Amino acid sequence: MKEIQFREAIVEAMSEEMRRDERVFLMGEEVAEYNGAYKASKGMLDEFGARRVIDTPIAELGFSGIAVGAAMNGLRPIVEFMTWNFAILAADQIINSAAKMLQMSGGQFNVPIVFRGANAQAGQLAATHSQSFEPMYSHIPGLKVITPSNPADMKGLLKSAIRDNDPVLIMESERMYGDKGMVPEGEYLIPIGVADIVKEGADITIVSFGKIMKDCNKAAEELAKEGISAEVIDLRTIRPLDIDTILKSVMKTNRLIIVEESFPVGSVCSEVAYRVQKNAFDYLDAPIQRLTQSDTPFPFATSLIAEALPDVSKIVKAAKEAMYLKKG
């Protein structure tokens, strides 16, 4: 094992796959000369050259369309968006071309492509630069959606995504690029669609993904001090959803909290809650708790940011309510 930063895990994954397969290339805003907006492609231009590490104009719809066409013709593009907020402009190519091409072509064209970039809140960036897009894209058949929470998962899942024959979207927290974590030495892959049981427990299940996992883990530690044993599950992949791991946990703990940074309506939380009540209703000893961002555009003021997002204290409070230890 070795300790590396989240951004270094991205560089390692992409570089290893580009050495392995000459069809793989990287394109996006500032990925080449500037080494990436978050330095997540550092050194790659020097190693692979300008034919395989390509700086694009600020034209997300245009270069995403080029990438889809390249994928249809046998290449395996990695497209970096500076932020998924800007990728709204590319949504037509992602949703109407990449996601649907296999079906619309009668199985003639796969679209092996990875779209990746910064996602979710990163401090005082206000409403237009602070959205979490997992629910939006996981709504679309034909797409796979991944949100890693640590460097080891980032590297293993990105390598799997690059080898996948379908479009894969990877949402990376802007605040995690400098995070350090232990990563296995040598070659390894993490399968898409498999959740990770981060901490085993017996009293309540906490399900989440992405950087908010930090708060879930801290909440589990606080609950343990009060004698409450929380099982913590990192979804890692939003679509396809590993519902079996969640169901097995809920059948053991009989209580569930789902936490995410997205808006509440049409959230990942809502989908998980539906599937759990449909398949494990008789095992539930309390209503499912859901913690999301507030149902408002994301604020700029720090006091309002604290109100808008889930945090450790809110997760602990929800757990106690599910345990009937504190009234809601």
Q: Which residues are catalytic?
A: 60, 129
For residue 57, whether the previous peptide bond is cis, meaning omega lies within 30 degrees of 0, is no
For 284, half-sphere exposure in the C-beta direction (CA atoms, 13 angstrom radius) is: 18
DSSP designation for 95: I
Length of the chain: 328
Rounded Cα distance between 223 and 132, Å, is: 27
How many Å apart are CA 140 and CA 238, to the nearest integer?
12
50/48 Cα distance (integer angstroms): 7
Cα gap 315→311, rounded to integer Å: 6
DSSP conformational letter for 140: S
Asked, as a colleague might, if the bond just before 264 is cis with ω within 30 of 0, I would say no
Q: 10 Å Cβ neighbour count for 110?
A: 16
Q: DSSP secondary structure string, 144-196? A: EEE---SHHHHHHHHHHHHH-SS-EEEEEEGGGTT-EEEE-SS-----TT--E
Distance, in Å, from the CA atom of 271 to the CA atom of 184, rounded to the nearest integer, reads: 33
Residues 6+ apart with CB under 8 A from 139: 266
Round to whole Å and give the CA distance between 261 and 257. 14
